[in-house]
Structure 1
């Protein structure tokens, strides 16, 4: 597997148009939102990663402050999408682990909003637990970022 992670800093990664088109066709708008945010408010991102598989952009994930009020510093994983051709090939796992590693020691809790059951199962498999009555669906205490490896 020729999997390669690259940080996204100031511009959209090569191959972004294809990933955005796949996300839109799959009923998701997060790549369109990511493009706008990187242009208009890039400082909101603590980190963002592009993952390439076989030289093609396979997925993207980022993290920002959790927008809902919290009692302690909390970040959220967002703008997370894996191209349908590259699912179940460690792309999401690789991006999530890189983001968790970046957050380690900097924040006490990570959150995510799983949009469907498959996403919920993924987040639970890497150490997030389902929560109720909050603005997010899952959270993870940032004591150990090696779980799920």
Structure 2
């Protein structure tokens, strides 16, 4: 399994936007630390035509040892493709996969600039939870 075609261009856009999450993803991928190929894991790519315009992953939340919860990982949408529903579609794909995998909820650690986006997707502020800014309960799949 490889990172999606167009990943380098998307990662360059993220860096130009001051975001390192795709560089971290690339490093984790090459080291074998995160490939989105385990139980309850998935990597979703959004395309407009042949162009990769967004990426978002799902894993088990590694910050919670006592419960099995899904985690939204490395969501990034190309700056030129924002406000077109790409991010919302990626989050919906992650939610569907997480629900189908049996996760009761999802958590994410988002930058302050993304708080309103996650809240518009139904996430609530995760007050008092370690390593998360937002969480969302899921309907059973």
TM over 0.5: yes
2:138 maps to: 142
Indicate if the aligned counterparts of 2:109 and 2:133 stay in contact, CA closer than 8 A.
Answer: yes
Q: CA deviation at 1:70?
A: 4.9
Which residue of the other structure, out of 54, 70, 78, is the alignment partner of 1:75? 70
Which residue of the other structure, out of 12, 18, 36, is the alignment partner of 2:9? 18
Give the number of aligned pairs: 135
Kindly indicate whether residue 25 of structure 2 is the aligned counterpart of residue 31 of structure 1. no
Q: TM-score, normalised by structure 1?
A: 0.83
Unaligned runs of 5+ in 1: 1-9
Unaligned runs of 5+ in 2: none
Alignment of 1:1-149 (within 5 A): 10-39=1-30, 40-41=32-33, 42=35, 43=37, 46-105=41-100, 106-117=102-113, 119-134=114-129, 135-143=131-139
| Structure with the higher strand share, 1 or 2 | 1
Structure 1 Cα separation of the partners of residues 7 and 53 of structure 2: 9
* Worse overlay, 65-74 or 38-47: 38-47
Aligned with 1:107: secondary structure? coil
Aligned with 1:104: secondary structure? helix
Q: TM-score, normalised by structure 2?
A: 0.87
Give structure 1 regions of 4+ aligned residues with deviation exceeding 2 angstroms: 36-39, 69-72
Give the superposed CA RMSD.
1.8
